[in-house]
Chain A
Amino acid sequence: DAKTTQPTSMDCAEGRAANLPCNHSTISGNEYVYWYRQIHSQGPQYIIHGLKNNETNEMASLIITEDRKSSTLILPHATLRDTAVYYCIAMEYGNKLVFGAGTILRVKS
């Protein structure tokens, strides 16, 4: 599965959109982009995944560039409860999740 690169940490003001970037320049055509997050003292939680098209659900939106070499997870109105580590994972359907260090998102009031 392709390696992903994420910033170590980011800050966001409460109520503003949080835009978390992920680079996956070696992604293959069969690999999806998955996002999970992990709130302090909890297990990871699935957020969203996509292949080519942009995706949106009740938690977030996923924007994938046309060449699929990078993507952005958007939390439209960040709250203090969104403070967490966010993991971007590129993997083929059915393969095992391989977590990197992720991005620490701090939402501040």
Chain B
Amino acid sequence: EAGVAQSPRYKIIEKRQSVAFWCNPISGHATLYWYQQILGQGPKLLIQFQNNGVVDDSQLPKDRFSAERLKGVDSTLKIQPAKLEDSAVYLCASSHLAGGYNEQFFGPGTRLTVL
């Protein structure tokens, strides 16, 4: 089966600009996650969707980050305006169910550099 797809793979922007990332989860997976991974650290969950509803966005900086999952399939994560500290890899993951067996399948990530 096809894995989690993300685009773009790399993005370089200047601070105060906006940027958007796209994720297509594995077909049939109800739950979608966005993580932020700063260099040298483990991934940190930003937001979790169950179908097209938000389950957990407690660590999403809502003043500048937004995410949506229209029709319960694809998702976009947006940063506006970007700050230097937003430089990181943004990972998308999906799983068949929320709760229960927690095998999450991760995409390759988008590496964001903010100058």
| Interface residues, chain A, with chain B CB atoms under 8 Å away | 34, 41-46, 49, 85, 87, 91, 93-102
Q: Is B109 an interface residue (CB 8 A)?
A: yes
Give complex CA distance A85, B100 in Å: 25
Contact between A94 and B102, CB atoms less than 8 A apart: yes
Tell me which residues across on chain A come within 8 A of B44, comparing CB atoms.
99
The number of inter-chain residue pairs (CB within 8 angstroms) is 52
Contact between B104 and A46, CB atoms less than 8 A apart: yes
Q: Is B14 an interface residue (CB 8 A)?
A: no
Contact between B42 and A87, CB atoms less than 8 A apart: yes
Tell me which residues across on chain A come within 8 A of B103, comparing CB atoms.
46
- Distance in angstroms from A92 CB to nearest chain B CB is 10
Tell me which residues across on chain A come within 8 A of B106, comparing CB atoms.
42-45
Show 19 A/B contacts (Cβ-Cβ < 8 Å), sorted by A: A41-B108, A41-B109, A43-B108, A43-B109, A44-B43, A44-B93, A44-B104, A45-B106, A46-B103, A91-B102, A93-B100, A94-B99, A94-B102, A96-B56, A97-B45, A97-B102, A99-B43, A101-B40, A102-B42
